[in-house]
Structure 1
Amino acid sequence: MAAAAAVAAAALARLAAAFLLLAAQVACEYGMVHVVSEAGGPKGKDYCILYNPQWAHLPLDLSKASLLQVRDWTTSVLCSPADLPAKGFSNQIPLVARGNCTFYEKVRLAQGSGARGLLVISKETLVPPGGNKTQYDEIGIPVALLSYKDMLDIFETFGRVVRAALYAPKEPMLDYNMVIIFIMAVGTVALGGYWAGSRDVRKRYMKHKRDDGPEKHEDEAVDVTPVMICVFVVMCCSMLVLLYHFYDQLVYVIIGIFCLASSTGLYSCLSPLLQRLPFCRCRVPDNSLPYFHKRPQVRTLLLALLCLAVSVVWGVFRNEDQWAWILQDALGIAFCLYTLKTIRLPTFKACTLLLLVLFIYDVFFVFITPFLTKSGNSIMVEVATGPSDSATHEKLPMVLKVPRLNASPLALCDRPFSLLGFGDILVPGLLVAYCHRFDIQVQSSRVYFVACTIAYGIGLLVTFMALALMQRGQPALLYLVPCTLVTSCALALWRRELGMFWTGSGFAKDLPQSPWAPASADGPQPQADSDATPSRPPPGQEAALSPPPAEQPPEPSAPEESGAGAPPQETESPTGLAPGPSA
């Protein structure tokens, strides 16, 4: 017991130290350096800088910032008085190289020689220029980091003789593009869950009534098992770590997979609409070619080529920031809808297992991995946004992305786009689809589906609020999983259907069975009942009207679907069925 207590105490101490490290991070903000040429020429241009407001504050408005001469002193690291020019930096902003000494030593020398600011040029990832309280009180000029790439662009665009003004426009808490992302995410979850649930129940009904129906040839849904969930999570962890270490080698593999998967998803979404058109039904002539020997319709082939062409166009022009994001979002939404339609969670128990495991996965790779990596960056955020030291400068396409609409430094500095990963749509979306299927089976007027969709929207809003307050990447599943799981579970408990909801007993089998015992001698025959019924009732009631064969035992879950309290003689009329759960 003593050893276990010591281990627990050590673990708590490490966790407390991690939180202290997180709290002690150097305060930093993004700002702008506005550069113009002294000789005239091109219009001025803004570049991103990372500065520490504890050294000196920058004005919020460019009109209030002083336009000062920039002195190229990058051949020096400015760590000793010998590195200073003979006449100093009077009313100038020197550019110096990073390294060999602290930021305080550099800015102290620059301020002592008359500089009005200091720009430290960095070839590495920008880090906040830190110091201690005494040093902050001593220094009265701003110090900021500027990337080496931006410095080269300044000299190439404006020449060596330039003037610059340092300022820091106020950062909006939320960008308007969050509204667009919210609409796309909630709309995809609602549409995908509705489509998946309706399609699943319809397929089961058609399979029961006519095995040769038109739905027979559709792609079958895949039921997710606990073993599949474990394998999937292990694969996700492995792929994320591999991408972190071998990003430049694997990013093109992911791009290729996305092109194929998204074109398939786009075809799957557009094909049902195409089949409703009453024209162009001509088929391929008789042939012996693979697949074509089935004589598919010509319009389906043209649609497949169109979907493939759309994904190829995106693949070629994926780095065009002006419009390529629109194609990526359209393909991504189609991919999510296709996945929600194809992957099926058969029970709420499977839903809970999947969501909780991915909840831990998301939190670990966003909040815990910064303490395990040398750079101190989150593996999830680093991979999602693309490593800053990537030679390819490619971004992973497995996200919805919308450019920032506000005039924000982040549009130039850190993230010109707001991102939402596909996993933050698909994982809760599978639960929404399950809720819709359960609604149809127990005839609950889609109360589970609506409640879970609203809970997803609330969870997404909480995610955006956390993002605005913390100003750092957030694991969206940290907020989405509790909102959707707790809402669904609480609703099932309130309706006294938690047992059925947990086990999925309303539709765990391909064929819903009647709750009654084998048909009695005076009961109606199935064929006669089918002939006498003038209209076709809904799938849940149709299964209840047909007595099962004598050798099949009754299903214990069916009373929740069609009402076990009805006597056998009432089976001839659908109006005698109790739509709600039995007492």
Structure 2
Amino acid sequence: MEPLWKLVYLLEPAPVVLILTAVAVTFGSAFRALNYGKETERNRDISGASITLDKSQALMIPIMSSCSLLLMFYLFSSVSQLLTAFTAVASASSLFFCFSPCVTYMKLQFGLADPFLSRCCSKAFTRTQAMLLLACCGTVSAWLITGHWILNNLLGISICVAFVSHIRLPNMKICAMLLVCLFVYDIFWVFYSERFFGANVMVSVATQQASNPVHTVANSLSLPGLELITKKLELPVKIMFPRHLLGGVLPGTTAADFMMLGLGDMAIPAMLLALILYFDYRKSREMISLVDLPSSKGHKYIWYAVTGYTVGLITALAAGVLSHAPQPALLYLVPSTLGPVILLSWMRRELAELWEGSPPSTSNKDRTVEV
């Protein structure tokens, strides 16, 4: 155990930027999920509707995650190129989903013409959407060539936002069940997997680099510029910042080391925040915006959850610094986010309503959420 004064290293640029990024992504994912839900309700777009998890599906998530973890632990080198290709497609789709509202907003603000080009999968495809899709594919291509950590973070954040927007929790009961199961899942695979499998499965998978199929193809065809294409890639299943960011380096580490946080440590709490945000929206009976949330117009459950997430994340990083060992972030994030929300709702006598949930009100379809 390191002395407590070493916690001052959490004030270095890398951990500070990691914490701020994780909080912003978690908060932003919840807002995007709420907006996306209202868009599909307003447009009656059943094909684009989110998937609402039931009890059995929620229980299957940690089981399937464990199976995937073991598969990648034993067969990662065999499936890494296929996994990279699949990740590239998912990343392009997620980027398109994340930036579509921004493009639509700019188009409406400046009154830009946006003619239809074609129809694909029964949906209209416009010129602006085609340009956005090309930009997303270009970004993914740049990541495949360079493997830069900034592009890795951008793709990982977009995947997190898209996941939280499309996979929803109906009520606090199923949310609590899922978080508790993933709480146990994270502790087992970080602390106890070495006893059963001879290595820390979670850390091994998180730190493995995948083979780059672009490099393999370029090498087989003897294409020029092969030295510019990275041979190994960090998959965007985590956000990462170099410890030497702006010059800060922890003692005993190399400049090549990175501080990392898995996407699950942002996506899972963001699902709770999305549930809370929808509850705040439904209880307020009026339009919610980022400006209104701190005022009396909102119920402020979201701020307790965000504060809890921040405290839990800082605690997890502090435990890692003091123990010099990987920490299961959900060990700290689940109690710090779920606990305050349940306690506050119990004090306000709204726990039963939040616990069981309720179907969306049809009378509120014309209300929008402004971000």
TM-score, normalized by length of structure 2?
0.80
* Alpha-carbon distance in structure 1 between the residues aligned to 2:299 and 2:36: 15
SS at match of 1:420: strand
Measure how far apart 1:202 and its partner are.
5.6
Kept in 1: contact 2:95–2:159 (CA 8 A): yes
* Alpha-carbon distance in structure 2 between the residues aligned to 1:217 and 1:500: 26
* Alpha-carbon distance in structure 2 between the residues aligned to 1:328 and 1:451: 30
Measure how far apart 1:257 and its partner are.
2.4
Question: Which residue is 2:308 aligned to?
Answer: 455
Letter in 2 for 1:333: I
Question: Which residue is 1:321 aligned to?
Answer: none
Which ranges in structure 1 are unaligned for 5 or more consecutive residues?
A: 1-22, 28-169, 207-212, 319-323, 514-535, 541-583
Question: Which residue is 2:28 aligned to?
Answer: 191
Measure how far apart 1:316 and its partner are.
2.2
Q: Does 1:364 find its partner at 2:197?
A: no
CA deviation profile, 1:85-117 (whole Å, cap 9, x unmatched): xxxxxxxxxxxxxxxxxxxxxxxxxxxxxxxxx
In the alignment of these two chains, the number of paired residues is: 325
Kept in 2: contact 1:432–1:453 (CA 8 A): yes
Question: Which residue is 1:280 aligned to?
Answer: 113
Letter in 2 for 1:280: A
Question: Which residue is 2:200 aligned to?
Answer: 378
Letter in 2 for 1:382: S
Letter in 2 for 1:197: L
Q: Does 1:249 find its partner at 2:78?
A: yes
Equivalent in 39, 48, 55 of residue 219 of structure 1: 48
Measure how far apart 1:488 and its partner are.
0.8
* Alpha-carbon distance in structure 1 between the residues aligned to 2:335 and 2:161: 23
* Alpha-carbon distance in structure 2 between the residues aligned to 1:296 and 1:267: 13
Letter in 1 for 2:153: D
Equivalent in 261, 265, 278 of residue 90 of structure 2: 261
Taking structure 1 as reference, are residues 465 and 298 closer, same or farther at Cα in structure 2, changes over 3 Å only?
same
CA deviation profile, 1:274-298 (whole Å, cap 9, x unmatched): 122121312226xxxx718865211
Question: Which residue is 1:419 aligned to?
Answer: 260
Q: Does 1:407 find its partner at 2:264?
A: no
CA deviation profile, 1:198-229 (whole Å, cap 9, x unmatched): 4424644x3xxxxxx4x637721110112112
Kept in 1: contact 2:152–2:234 (CA 8 A): no
Taking structure 1 as reference, are residues 347 and 279 closer, same or farther at Cα in structure 2, changes over 3 Å only?
same
User: What are the within-5 Å matches in structure 2 for residues 158-237 of structure 1?
Assistant: 173-174=9-10, 175-201=12-38, 203-204=40-41, 206=42, 213=43, 216=45, 219-237=48-66
Letter in 2 for 1:342: H
Taking structure 1 as reference, are residues 256 and 447 closer, same or farther at Cα in structure 2, changes over 3 Å only?
same
* Alpha-carbon distance in structure 2 between the residues aligned to 1:330 and 1:308: 13
Letter in 1 for 2:188: F
Kept in 2: contact 1:411–1:417 (CA 8 A): no
- Give percent identity, aligned residues only: 27
Taking structure 1 as reference, are residues 172 and 190 closer, same or farther at Cα in structure 2, changes over 3 Å only?
closer
Kept in 2: contact 1:171–1:409 (CA 8 A): no
* Alpha-carbon distance in structure 2 between the residues aligned to 1:172 and 1:500: 42
SS at match of 2:249: coil
Which ranges in structure 2 are unaligned for 5 or more consecutive residues?
A: 210-230, 285-296
* Alpha-carbon distance in structure 1 between the residues aligned to 2:333 and 2:368: 32
SS at match of 1:190: helix
Structure with greater Cα Rg: 1
Letter in 1 for 2:15: M
* Alpha-carbon distance in structure 2 between the residues aligned to 1:257 and 1:491: 42
Kept in 2: contact 1:436–1:446 (CA 8 A): no
Kept in 2: contact 1:255–1:397 (CA 8 A): no
Taking structure 1 as reference, are residues 239 and 418 closer, same or farther at Cα in structure 2, changes over 3 Å only?
same
Question: Which residue is 2:349 aligned to?
Answer: 496
* Alpha-carbon distance in structure 2 between the residues aligned to 1:447 and 1:428: 17
Letter in 1 for 2:263: F
CA deviation profile, 1:540-581 (whole Å, cap 9, x unmatched): 9xxxxxxxxxxxxxxxxxxxxxxxxxxxxxxxxxxxxxxxxx
Letter in 1 for 2:18: I
Equivalent in 326, 349, 352 of residue 176 of structure 2: 352
RMSD: 2.8
Measure how far apart 1:335 and its partner are.
1.4
* Alpha-carbon distance in structure 2 between the residues aligned to 1:458 and 1:274: 34
* Alpha-carbon distance in structure 2 between the residues aligned to 1:500 and 1:329: 37
* Alpha-carbon distance in structure 1 between the residues aligned to 2:122 and 2:349: 53
Letter in 1 for 2:203: V
* Alpha-carbon distance in structure 2 between the residues aligned to 1:358 and 1:279: 46
* Alpha-carbon distance in structure 2 between the residues aligned to 1:417 and 1:467: 13
* Alpha-carbon distance in structure 1 between the residues aligned to 2:195 and 2:8: 29
* Alpha-carbon distance in structure 1 between the residues aligned to 2:235 and 2:123: 38
TM-score, normalized by length of structure 1?
0.52
SS at match of 2:362: coil
* Alpha-carbon distance in structure 1 between the residues aligned to 2:49 and 2:361: 12
* Alpha-carbon distance in structure 2 between the residues aligned to 1:455 and 1:424: 13
Equivalent in 335, 339, 342 of residue 159 of structure 2: 335
Kept in 2: contact 1:192–1:337 (CA 8 A): yes
Letter in 2 for 1:182: I
Taking structure 1 as reference, are residues 469 and 294 closer, same or farther at Cα in structure 2, changes over 3 Å only?
closer
Kept in 2: contact 1:362–1:475 (CA 8 A): yes
User: What are the within-5 Å matches in structure 2 for residues 473-512 of structure 1?
Assistant: 473-505=326-358, 508-509=359-360, 511=362
